[in-house]
Amino acid sequence: MKIRSGGHDYEGLSYVSNTPFFILDMFNLRSIQVNLEDETAWVQTGATLGEVFYNIAKKSKVHGFPAGVCPTVGVGGHVSGAGYGNMMRKYGLTSDNVIDAEIVDADGRVLNRKTMGDDLFWAIRGGGGSSFGVIVSYKIKLVRVPQVVTVFRVSRTMEENAIDVVLQWQDIASKIDDNLFIRLAMDVIDQGNNKRLKKLDCHELCWIESVLFWADYSPIDTPIEVLLERTPPTLSHLTRKSDYVKDPIPKEGLEIIWKKMIELETPRLIFNPYGGKMSEISEDAIPFPHRKGNLYKIQYLANWDEEGKEKEKYYMELVRKLYSYMSPYVSKYPRQAYYNYRDLDLGVNHHDGTKGYLEGRKYGIQYFMNNFDKLVHIKTLVDPSNLFRNEQSIPILPM
């Protein structure tokens, strides 16, 4: 059984498999009930983040929710796999802001926070829903946002000392005031045809308009109803990987990376700063372990439009190469990864007895570090027959 909410899993695990399967599609379960009195909302998992943001904004201009920047991402996968967005340094992860949930377990029982118990409630806030049951809804804690927020986009080329900008960014982005989230993207562009370069560009907006800005819509003349669309404006094939950086990459390292990126052309890097609230929350508060000590997370990305397996292989290989060039500069033993940036190169589980546990341990440690053992323990208790499984689910303990 594949459980699908927004269908944005980077490896398509909610709708692709080599073995026969059926899909439990949550998309009709998408009600959102915002309660401003206690500043919470019950959100069904088939809703998208855009629908959540829209419904909050319709009721209040000074409330928001810390979640991902792509409005078509589904609540089900995003929240159960941790989820981050541009308020993470201020308010933490999406699942740090979850206060209740409804889940259908392997015995068909409908459970809430109280009846599922602390352990299962812990597991489904970052450990991925699809190992534990079908999550029907989450109760989220709204956060306060100012009447006016400022967004900006600044581009610099190599000739404009881009490397120095990255060096400085590494020094300040995780230490600066936690009201500020500065994401950095490194990209190879055609200088002759460069439409993306702009001068310093600050806009003062209300929070929901800033959501449009982050989603690459013009915040001034796009109606916020665009956030209700469930299909992204452009569709392409894509692959992603992730890494964590604990020490600044030295100038020579950045120069090597630039050189390699120019050779490879397609893959991009996006750096998401940590620090702030992320450093205050303990590594075992929820299954997501990448907290204090991380300067930033790297996202590797390639998008392409050409069809066919050959092209897919070609672009995935480019990203793998860049990932391998980065190994001296990123976390080690284990090389850590973000679960919601699903990456089957980290391992695939065939759920074959003891082997299934060992296969699960391989990717599980990279995603969850010391929290992996607790996830396995909870999984073994709540779903001993491994009904809820996929290529990268939490394995059960071998008998």
Binding site for ligand FAD (CB under 6 A): 2-10, 13-14, 26, 45, 68-70, 73-74, 76-78, 80-81, 83-85, 129-130, 134-135, 340, 390
Instruction: Give the integer Cα–Cα distance in Å for 151 and 291.
Output: 25
Nearer to ligand FAD, 64 or 77 (CB): 77
Residues near 5 by beta carbon (within 8 Å), at least 6 away in sequence:
14, 26, 27, 45, 46, 74, 75, 76, 77, 78
**Both tokens assigned to 284:** 């075992």
Q: How far is the CB of 207 from ligand FAD (least distance, A)?
A: 16
- The residues annotated with a catalytic role in the active site are 341
Q: How far is the CB of 390 from ligand FAD (least distance, A)?
A: 6
The residue count for the chain: 399
Q: What's at 20, amino acid-wise?
A: P
For 42, the enclosing helix (H) or strand (E) is: strand 40-44
Cβ proximity to ligand FAD: between 84 and 323 the closer is: 84
Q: Which is nearer to ligand FAD, 21 or 152 (CB)?
A: 21
Give 254 or 315: the residue with its C-beta nearer to ligand FAD: 315
Give whichever of 82 and 330 is closer to ligand FAD, judged by the CB atom: 82
Q: Quote the least distance from Cβ 299 to ligand FAD, whole Å.
A: 9
Residue 91 to residue 276: CA distance in whole angstroms:
8
What is the pairing mode between strands 134-141 and 143-144? unpaired
Cβ at position 108, least distance to ligand FAD in Å: 14
Q: At its nearest, how many Å lie between ligand FAD and the CB of residue 399?
A: 26
Specify whether the CB–CB gap between 337 and 298 falls below 8 A. no
Which ranges in the chain belong to alpha helices (H)? Answer: 49-59, 75-80, 88-91, 113-123, 162-172, 207-214, 251-264, 277-280, 309-325, 353-368, 372-382
Q: Which two tokens stand for residue 348?
A: 């695939």
